[in-house]
Copies of this chain bind each other. A is one copy, B any other.
Amino acid sequence: MAEQQADPLAEWRLRQEPYYQPVGHEIAAFDAARTARLPLLLKGPTGCGKTRFVEHMAWRLQLPLITVACHEDLSASDLAGRWLLDAQGTRWMDGPLAQAVRHGGLCYLDEFMEARADTTVLLHPLADTRRVLSLERCGELLHAHPDFQLIVSYNPGYQGIHRELKPSTRQRFVAMNFDYPDPPTETGIVQREGLASSELAGQLVRFAVRTRHLRDEGLEEGASTRMLVHAALLARAGLSPHDATMQAIADPLSDDPDVGAVLRALVLASF
């Protein structure tokens, strides 16, 4: 964690303090897991602040944060590392997970539900009392740096993936649930992040709350806090609140013509 010159994770350190508004006991919960040396599993909808929370904790702990978004083409080698060929022969290059394990830092695996079997299994010995990462391809067994912390997240409400976490994976993690902030908190976030008046921020939050009840209408997921900030920024850049909301929220949310009509009506009624 020293500020020394040759910090191998320097580029993964945050350059400025990220804005974060706590919405419950999440900081105490994080600290308890860290004290107990247990890995964390964050659950919650898209854009509700999971990533921002992790950035906040990295800043508080003054630790580098290495983020990797999981997907079906991410292999264990992408996380652990690989051999490169150069003029002197082969050279091992640590992947992002191995870097965090070796030098100490938060490793945050986003959209973890979409990780492949080889990726999840690679984490098992890291996520129990052994705290080791086996770099099988280079024959090294890496013992985790004391500062290493594993964090994974996913959106349990998203139906697009039919993968399941296996019990042997789940039961290694300590979980924390996230949800959209309550309206006053969310209004404050939109004001600050979107540089918006309290009036516009309030309008946007009320609109968002309505979209979050449209699942029966066929909307996969309602407007996130992130989208409200986008709309506020577009309004600040000169668009009318109506146009900003259409462009930042209603149009991106769905391609379905019927859902689109419902959203357009909601926008008209709200602005």
Within 8 A of B (CB), among A104-125: 110-111, 114, 116-118, 120-122, 124-125
A1-59 with Cβ < 8 A to chain B:
11-12, 25, 28-29, 31-33, 35-36, 38, 41, 43, 45-47, 51
Distance of A138 from chain B, by nearest CB (Å):
8
Query: Which residues of the partner chain B approach A69 to less than 8 Å between Cβ atoms?
Result: 121-122, 124-125
Main DSSP-derived SS at the A contact region: mixed
> In the bound complex, do residue A117 and residue B238 qualify as a contact, i.e. CB atoms below 8 Å apart?
no
Judging by beta carbons under 8 Å apart, are B12 and A247 in contact?
Answer: no
- List A205-259 residues whose CB lies under 8 Å from chain B: 220-221, 223-224, 226-227, 230, 233-234, 236-239, 243-244, 247-248, 251-253, 255
Q: Is A95 an interface residue (CB 8 A)?
A: yes
Known contacts: A111-B121, A160-B164. The answer to whether A234 contacts B46 by CB under 8 A is no
Q: Does A182 contact B (CB under 8 A)?
A: no
Q: Is the CB of A36 within 8 A of B230?
A: yes
Residues of chain B within 8 A (CB-CB) of A99 are 139
Question: Of B41, B84, B140, which one neighbours A252 at CB under 8 angstroms?
Answer: B41
Q: A11-B141, A230-B36 given as contacts; is B175 within 8 A of A28 (CB)?
A: no
- A94 / chain B contacts, CB cutoff of 8 Å: 139
Q: Are B168 and A234 in contact (CB under 8 A)?
A: no
Chain B residues contacting A120 (CB-CB under 8 Å) are: 71
Residues of B within 8 A of A234 (CB): 32-33, 36, 38, 174
**From B25, B73, B252, contact of A118 by CB (8 A):** B73
Q: Would you mind naming 19 contact pairs between A and B with Cβ atoms under 8 Å apart?
A: A32-B234, A36-B233, A36-B237, A38-B248, A41-B251, A67-B134, A69-B121, A69-B122, A87-B88, A99-B139, A111-B121, A111-B168, A114-B117, A158-B167, A170-B252, A171-B224, A171-B226, A174-B248, A174-B252
Which A residues are within 8 Å of any B CB, using their own CB? Answer: 11-12, 25, 28-29, 31-33, 35-36, 38, 41, 43, 45-47, 51, 67-76, 78, 82-90, 93-96, 99, 110-111, 114, 116-118, 120-122, 124-125, 128, 134, 136-137, 139-141, 155-156, 158, 160, 164-168, 170-177, 220-221, 223-224, 226-227, 230, 233-234, 236-239, 243-244, 247-248, 251-253, 255
